[in-house]
Amino acid sequence: MKFSEPATHNPIDAMTVVGRPHTRVEGPLKVTGRAPYAAEHHEGLDDLAYGEIVPATIAKGRILRIDLDAARAAPGVLAVVSAGEAGELGKGKTNTVKLMGGPEIDHYHQAIAVVVAETFEEARHAARLVRVDYATDEGHFDLAEALAEAEPCTDANAAPADEEQRVGRFEEAFAAAAVTLDAQYATPDQSHAMMEPFASIASWDGDELALWTSSQMVAWGRRDLAATLKMPKEKIRFRSPYVGGGFGGKLFLRADAVMAALGAKAAGRPVKVTMPRPLIPNNTTHRPATRQRIRIGCEPNGRIVAIAHESGSGDQPDGGPEAAVSQTRLLYAGANRLTALRLAILDLPEGNSMRAPGEAPGMMALEIAVDEMAEKLGMDPVAFRIANDTQVDPEKPERPFSQRQLVRCLEDGARRFGWWRRVPQPASVREGRWLVGMGVAAAFRNHIAMKSGARVRLTRGGGVVVETDMTDIGTGSYTILAQTAAEMMGVPVGAVTVRLGDSAYPVSAGSGGQFGAANATSGVYAACVKLREAVAQALGFNSAEAVFAGGRVTSGNRSAALAEAAAGGDLSGEDRIEYGDLDETHQLSTFGAHFVEVGVDAYTGVARVRRMLAVCAAGRILNPVSARSQVIGAMTMGVGGALMEELVVDTRYGFFVNHDLAGYEVPVHADIPHQDVVFLDEADDKANPMKAKGVGELGLCGVGAAVANALYNATGVRVRDYPITMDKYLDRLPPV
């Protein structure tokens, strides 16, 4: 199905199932432990062995000698595989560095061998018997130093040859502006810290490989595993039916899958590899740190006349920048504009996508800068944002937003949150020993249209089966796909069986970047259209007039039970959604507003988030229950980024020091007493036939700045260097 014209009325608009709150259809499996995650597929694997990764203990250099003899002689050991035994490996399309090191080492904790044994304990013990001699090279681990020599690079959202994005004459307009701001901001390296670690089980049958793994993108993982092992992808069955969180860290193939495949081949047995938590930050990917400069020039009435956002980040030589300026190109009006990125080459572990890549750290800076400018102008921060709203792409005024309700998000949020009670003068509100403040930030994230396929079957008993390689990373994919099929085929959700995460099924958009839900449901919609045609034909009905409802199909004065169409055998419909140029003629984006209240202990400096509100405009909300969970989880993640999350770099030896959940702190339920989420009524007919977009990233973008702005309002101390830990403001608190 080609979606190239705005959606008109269709069966989804009935919203008898879609748009209604539904608990997760796979919930009972999860709470009873019957939903098999990557490390739990034991059926048919009675001879399962265990693999343990041996990581590099230097950040850059070369293996001179690796001694595997002691490991091979250890009790229970079945095989030991290093680069020498593995032979020449390839590299996946989405991998920045190779997943198995040797003899060259690209980063600390790069996998250099895998030990396979009868038990996990034996594998772990033997892995520690591997002895490695290295020649260490000088590496680059300090972002600030490396940025001094960094080259400009291309924004992934820009034209291929453009290193800077310019509209108008920024420098002249900024110099002539009545009120100006020029400030520097910093965000740290961050870890995904997902609940389920990276894990894989590999099993060979001749030259065919079966892999169960924890992956957000089945098709990408299969493709890249085939490229790494230098084998046809058709020989690999790649499965990931349940994923315990990914946040972008599991978008790409990782070492656990490769090591499991190599270990299973060498041992002649199925092999399970579960990456220990301390290996994850350095072996896998992380959100890169940024150093950002923002300049804003305004007229006295608050209208922006010049805005510039420049950001620098680091990555391995074949990597790319953290595109922290992306939202600044679209969020606020302004005739004269400049955005630019710089990439420093670092020998740290690979930097890559983490929830809302680009916008999350970019808005942590931009939305503080907007508050700072509002204060310079003597304007309310909400009013300043509203004054600079735009209904067209600021860089291409001929290109309107398909829908943009940012102003309403801000106004509704301010009313609901009690913004009128905010005292503009910082450090003016006390409740006992607590300094109390409120903060606001806009939320923004683009919608991405991606091809997505599905197969839908009608069984003899009238049940509906959905099959697609889409994944559920805890976001509710099983449920919204069941709702889509139920709405289209006129059956209850309980009559729909959803099967996900298997490369044997049609290729979907996958889970990531806020693109999963809207595209995957649109793919199921397209397949259901095909199935409806097959059903109508089997019943002798006119498919254009057929109405599917209550388990029956009606056309004119004729009606039949849906199951009758499959009396002679299952009927199937398979298709995928593809897109025209609506995302080129219109800017497809989601918007929101975050409001936060914090308290800061006047004596100790301890900061506590007291309450939070998110107001979101993100197209049709497919399931308010799971969408609310998405946004609340994202808001919580934003608090972590604002107040505690930071991978600390040892710039001498090139690794992240706090590489476990004891040292890398994340927020918990007790950290945030009250959160609320409001979705504005919206259906975007230019996005897809579901008229839906996404919310998973929108709930994060801007949260960090809202916390920072609230802390400033509470204390009068402005911190521009995240995370906002007590050491950065304690000595500047108002006197007691």
Same domain, 453 and 440: no
pLDDT tens-place string over residues 500-546 = 999 999 999 999 999 999 999 999 999 999 999 999 999 999 999 99
Cβ neighbourhood burial of 313 (10 Å; 0-12, 13-18, 19+)? buried
157 pLDDT above the threshold of 90: no
Write down the catalytic residue from 52, 359, 597, 697.
697
242 pLDDT above the threshold of 80: yes
Contact 245, 471 (CB under 8 A): no
Res. 154 pLDDT band, cuts 50 70 90: confident
Number of domains in the chain: 2
Quick check: is 305 in a domain? no
Taking residues 415-433, report their average pLDDT.
Answer: 98
Q: Which of 584, 604, 639 delimits the end of a domain?
A: 584
Res. 156 pLDDT band, cuts 50 70 90: low
Active site (annotated) includes residue 487: no
The CA distance from 192 to 249, in Å, is 6
Computed over every residue of the chain, the mean pLDDT equals: 97
Same domain, 616 and 689: yes
Same domain, 465 and 517: yes
Same domain, 564 and 459: yes
Q: At 147, phi and psi to the nearest 5?
A: -65, -25
Taking residues 58-66, report their average pLDDT.
Answer: 98
Contacts of residue 378, Cβ cutoff 8 Å, sequence gap at least 6: none
Same domain, 479 and 552: yes
Contacts of residue 420, Cβ cutoff 8 Å, sequence gap at least 6: 414
Quick check: is 709 in a domain? yes
pLDDT more than 90, % of the chain? 97
In angstroms, the Cα distances linking 118 to 51, 259, 282, 367, 491 are: 9, 16, 27, 54, 48
Quick check: is 529 in a domain? yes
| Helix residue ranges, H only, 490-562 | 516-539
Same domain, 567 and 548: yes
Same domain, 454 and 440: no
The CA distance from 239 to 471, in Å, is 9
Q: Which residue has the tokens 């199925």?
A: 270
Same domain, 472 and 487: yes
Res. 151 pLDDT band, cuts 50 70 90: confident
0.95 exceeded by the pTM?
A: yes
Sign of CA dihedral 675, 733, 441, 249: negative
Q: At 351, phi and psi to the nearest 5?
A: -90, 135
pLDDT tens-place string over residues 354-399 = 999 999 999 999 999 999 999 999 999 999 999 999 999 999 999 9
Quick check: is 340 in a domain? no
Quick check: is 115 in a domain? no
Q: In 3D, which of 339, 362, 335, 336 has the Cα closest to residue 444?
A: 362
Range of the domain at 698: 400-445+588-732
pLDDT at 534: 98
Total length of the chain: 736
pLDDT at 43: 85
Contacts of residue 297, Cβ cutoff 8 Å, sequence gap at least 6: 173, 174, 175, 176, 177, 178, 179, 180, 181, 304, 305, 306, 307, 336
160 pLDDT above the threshold of 60: no
pLDDT tens-place string over residues 701-736 = 999 999 999 999 999 999 999 999 999 999 999 998
Q: Which of 544, 568, 584 delimits the end of a domain?
A: 584
Q: How would you classify the pairing of strands 208-213 and 131-136?
A: unpaired
Quick check: is 141 in a domain? no
Quick check: is 254 in a domain? no
The CA distance from 498 to 480, in Å, is 10
Same domain, 411 and 486: no
Same domain, 455 and 574: yes
Cβ neighbourhood burial of 701 (10 Å; 0-12, 13-18, 19+)? buried
The CA distance from 113 to 63, in Å, is 12
- Which helix (H) or strand (E) segment is 280 a member of? helix 280-283
Q: Which residue has the tokens 């291409």?
A: 396
Q: How would you classify the pairing of strands 552-555 and 236-239?
A: unpaired
Q: How would you classify the pairing of strands 655-656 and 649-650?
A: antiparallel
Q: Which CATH number does the domain housing residue 497 bear? A: 3.30.365.10
Q: Six-digit token pair at 142?
A: 């300090």
Same domain, 479 and 561: yes
Quick check: is 288 in a domain? no
Contact 106, 98 (CB under 8 A): yes
Q: Which of 529, 554, 584 delimits the end of a domain?
A: 584
Same domain, 431 and 453: no
